[in-house]
Chains A and B, each alone.
Chain A
């Protein structure tokens, strides 16, 4: 609308009023261009991330064969006898993520059902900001908590537990993810129209029956999407596992073992000053590429599930 107004025909004899109009027009265009460039920073960042990861990984795969990378059962790039098998790092990542989800999915879902279906308006308005605060706690602090609080507590129950273990790290990571699952699932449940609940209550169902058999099935796409996005967060989580799970790559799925994740390996290498351009330096980009592909696919699946299976009323 405004642009139509401004594109008034410009005659050769320019009156002072029209001259002002041209200046305004140019200024408007320049501002729009600047704003667009700012938006393009996001696109540039994505391309830069993919570009850097691919570029360094390609150099890495010139020295290490792709087959070895996926089949070798050892990851020892910093040793004399270097092995480059990503599987031990992947197993560590998957195990810690699985423990985290085993904690976060049930507790998060029950919290969401409670907040959405049972809690009073006032409770909900008080609790949700507190959950948001929990999301804001830096992960390095959670690492401290895992190492000096959760692991010693677990050692009382299970004395053979090493002080660096995937169980403690996974549990703390799970606690970190609870608010994430709870808040996303609650949003999905709140989107289910009131009339469906009222229909269920009218049939004599209790709140629990309504929540379990009417609201949850109707919101299932949003809840599943929340789970998948939570997996992606757990896989990419760094500090908790780097501090509390140990930094020794170990091909195991046993939660009481100590093992390194992909992220913990990147941290470990970045801390010990590796020369730029060496295979060890390139290996963190190859590991990062695997991590990026894992989280990206989870994110894409999550968005797809939410879009595709969304029930519309």
Chain B
């Protein structure tokens, strides 16, 4: 105490101390800014690297050719078609189930142990590594349900994987709707479902869409679970077309077809020793990253707009 008092008596020392602390402040601000920029710089470096390496393959031929044993001729056709088909199955399964589960948990579920059990499960599933979903799919879909290593298996697997994302974002979007809206609807005699569907669901549509887009972007880039189900990596054919010329115009054979998707094709090219294939991998990576960044960017922009525009 005495020591401190004597320091404070000396004005010059105090000024030096203040100066030192202010300097620490600005030094830390600079360090903080550098750390912050690291993430940004990495993202740009990564993007630049992929574009620089994959540049020779940025042609339309790359999208219209099948994979080949010759790197120069190899293309992405079966991979991007596979990605689109798998994502279709994922969308059709995960979105209705996820939104319905979100509506149930937020609007219907009573407060009891059963609801707690569901909620704990949803938050746990969000933390399960994606490769574990691959093992589930391998054991359950491929062998027990005998779907084989098909588009259906992959789509369902990714559907389960993004289910927690869809559920959580649906719940968050619904929670933002004020109680007064529900009370007004009940007040004019609406039933529970009329309130939930015509008001709660429709007003939270934008927020739900944000979650769906983020989930689909995640599904598009997921590699590990699809490798685990044993998806073939050399596919030089297209699945049967979903639309036919004869009635009933829809054909579901494609669901059980073998397939490859873009991240798998990239991994396949990456693991070859020949450098020519690495160029293909880089071009594929650039395409995947552009699509996922566009999807995530749309979602973030959407969320920002919703937050800004809606004032209840």
Binding site for B on A (CB under 8 A): 1-3, 5-6, 24, 27-28, 31-32, 34-36, 38-43, 45-46, 48-49, 52-53, 55-56, 106-107, 110-111, 113-115, 118-119, 127, 129-134, 136-145, 147-149, 175, 178-179, 182, 206-209, 211, 229, 232-233, 235-239, 242-243, 263, 266-267, 270-271, 273, 276, 284-285, 288, 291-292, 295-296, 299, 303
Contacts and interface: CB of A to CB of B under 8 A. Distances in A.
A144 B131 contact: no
B82 interface: no
Interface in B5-22: 21-22
Interface in B87-127: 96-98, 100-101, 103-105, 108-109, 117-118, 121-125, 127
Given A24-B191, A137-B293, A299-B127, 17 more contacts: A28-B193, A36-B108, A46-B125, A55-B139, A119-B36, A133-B43, A136-B217, A137-B43, A140-B285, A144-B49, A144-B282, A178-B39, A243-B270, A263-B131, A270-B138, A291-B129, A295-B127
Contact of A236 (B31, B117, B132, B186): B132
B103 A288 contact: no
A273 to B, nearest CB: 7
Contacts of A111: 32, 35-36, 38-39
A206 B25 contact: yes
Q: Which 5 A-B pairs have the closest CB atoms?
A: A138-B221, A236-B129, A114-B32, A38-B100, A35-B104
A238 to B, nearest CB: 4
A191 B271 CA distance: 45
A136 B124 CA distance: 20
Contact of B118 (A32, A42, A236): A42
A288 B271 CA distance: 23
Contact of B289 (A137, A235, A284, A296): A137
A288 B131 contact: yes
Query: Which size class do B's interface residues fall under?
Result: 35 or more
Given A2-B195, A133-B297, A138-B222, A266 B104 contact: no
A273 B65 CA distance: 26
Contacts of B282: 144, 148
B130 A236 contact: yes
Contacts of A28: 191-193
B160 interface: yes
A166 to B, nearest CB: 18
B39 A131 contact: yes
A185 B137 CA distance: 34
Given A43-B121, A208-B28, A266-B134, A145 B296 contact: no
13 contacts: A48-B136, A56-B139, A110-B32, A133-B297, A141-B289, A207-B25, A238-B130, A239-B267, A263-B129, A266-B224, A267-B224, A270-B228, A291-B131
Interface string B50-74: 1001000000000000000000000
A38 B101 contact: yes
Contacts of A140: 221, 223, 263, 266-267, 270, 285, 288
B33 A45 contact: no
Contacts of A242: 224, 267
A207 B26 CA distance: 9
Contacts of B139: 52, 55-56, 285
Nearest to B183: A1
A3 B192 contact: yes
A160 B291 CA distance: 38
A197 B7 CA distance: 26
B267 A243 contact: yes
Given A28-B192, A131-B39, A238 B224 contact: yes
B306 interface: no
A132 B296 contact: yes
A208 to B, nearest CB: 4
B135 A148 contact: no
Nearest to B300: A129
A114 B163 contact: no
A232 B49 contact: no
A267 B132 CA distance: 11
Contacts of A27: 193
B122 A129 contact: no
A180 B98 CA distance: 24
B100 A35 contact: yes
B42 interface: yes
B135 A53 contact: yes
A182 B105 CA distance: 29
B125 A291 contact: no
A133 B296 contact: yes
Contacts of A41: 97, 101, 160, 163
Nearest to B223: A140
B220 interface: yes
A147 B270 contact: yes
Contact of A136 (B123, B125, B136, B214): B214
Interface in B208-233: 214, 217-218, 220-224, 227-230, 233
B304 interface: yes
Contacts of A285: 135, 139
Contact of A208 (B24, B124, B233): B24
Contacts of A143: 267, 270
B281 interface: yes
B219 to A, nearest CB: 10
B224 A292 contact: no
A6 B122 CA distance: 32
